[in-house]
Amino acid sequence: MAFFLLASEPLPDGLRRIAREETEKALSLLESDQDLHFVVHETRKSMKKLRAIIRLVRDQVGQNTYRSENIRYRDLARRISGLRDLGAIQETWTVLEGRTRSKVLNTLIQKGKTEVQARLDAAAAAGNKEIATHISEAAVILRSALAKLETLDLGADRFKTIAPSLRRVYHRGYRGLKLARRMPTTEYLHQWRKRVKYLLYQMEILQPSWPELMTPWALALQQLSQLLGTDHDLAVLSETIEAGGLLNGRQQGKAQLLRLVDSYREELMAEILPLGHHLYALPPKAFPKMIGKWYHTWRQYPDT
């Protein structure tokens, strides 16, 4: 299974194949006996990839179809999310463990991990059956999506059919960078990360246009997405503690712990913003033109 275009296939055929294979991969996971949390994680990733694809053909399928399919994939991912947020907080505790030698902070972190693990265990005992039911329902929905995919008109075998959509996704990430730089709120950074991931998956699809440049570009987008994801997890942890959702009543070291989180987020932003400026250096109008030239050169000389 290749999550990228092949030289032997017309553009609409390639996009349909990629979407079909990603859907079938998700279906295989949903209908397997693998670890529930692994299934949820990988299926959610597939839904993000499918949403990136439907964005790429947005102008071809029409606004109504785009909206309905995008909502279908979005809601399916939400349906099976289950314990993801608690799991992310637990992973964040583990990350913080390695960033301090303070006995007070490490004691607090261990107490926080114990609290979250107790909630995870309780939620798993009560919710795994419910999640399994949602997974079964999601498989039915995905089979319907697969049938719909085969009927979609994805346009002609020309790059210009996807150029406006590519520009739109890039432009929103470009705008997200500017907003994050001016007002680095948790919500703005979270929304920017979504735009980064859509562009990442679209660059992976178009990677054969010039692998020597687009592969490292995609890897840099992946790095940016991971940095933004870590920042978001830290922000959620901090907000949960401040709201009394964790370590409630434990005052000793709490302010110091929040400072540790803030310090780590500052370090992350010192990496995030320069990397973002590198990746979104081109004006939005220029971006699809450049990718289009690479794509046409690849189509003209597929064996080089």
pLDDT at 279 over 90: yes
pLDDT of residue 206: 98
Q: pLDDT at residue 56 above 90?
A: yes
Do 43 and 29 contact (CB within 8 A), yes or no? yes
Task: Classify the C-alpha dihedral 55-60-64-68 as positive or negative.
Answer: negative
232: Cβ contacts below 8 Å, ≥ 6 apart: 186, 189, 190, 193
What is the maximal distance between C-alpha atoms in the chain? Answer: 67
List C-alpha distances in Å: 239 to 118, 254, 258.
Answer: 20, 12, 9
Q: State the Cα–Cα distance between residues 197 and 190, nearest whole angstrom.
A: 11
pLDDT band at 128; cut points 50, 70, 90? low
DSSP symbol at 247: S
pLDDT per residue as tens digits for the range 232-258: 999 999 998 988 888 887 667 888 999
CA distance 65 to 219: 31
Q: What predicted TM-score, i.e. pTM, was given to this entire model?
A: 0.93
- Residue at 34: amino acid letter: Q
The pLDDT of residue 276 is above 90? yes
Give the model confidence (pLDDT) of 131-168 as tens digits: 778 888 888 999 999 999 999 999 999 999 999 999 99
The per-residue pLDDT for range 199-226, each reduced to its tens digit, is: 999 999 999 999 999 999 999 999 999 9
Number of helices followed by number of strands (H, E) in the chain: 11, 0
Q: Return the pLDDT at 180.
A: 94
Share of residues in the chain with pLDDT > 70 (%): 97
Identify the structural domains of the chain with CATH numbers, from first to last. 11-300 (1.40.20.10)
Q: Which amino acid is at 14?
A: G
Identity of the residue numbered 185: T
Please tell me the total number of residues recorded for the chain in this structure: 304
More confident residue, 59 or 40: 59
Could you read off the pLDDT of 2-38 as tens digits, one per residue? 899 999 999 999 999 999 999 999 999 988 988 877 8
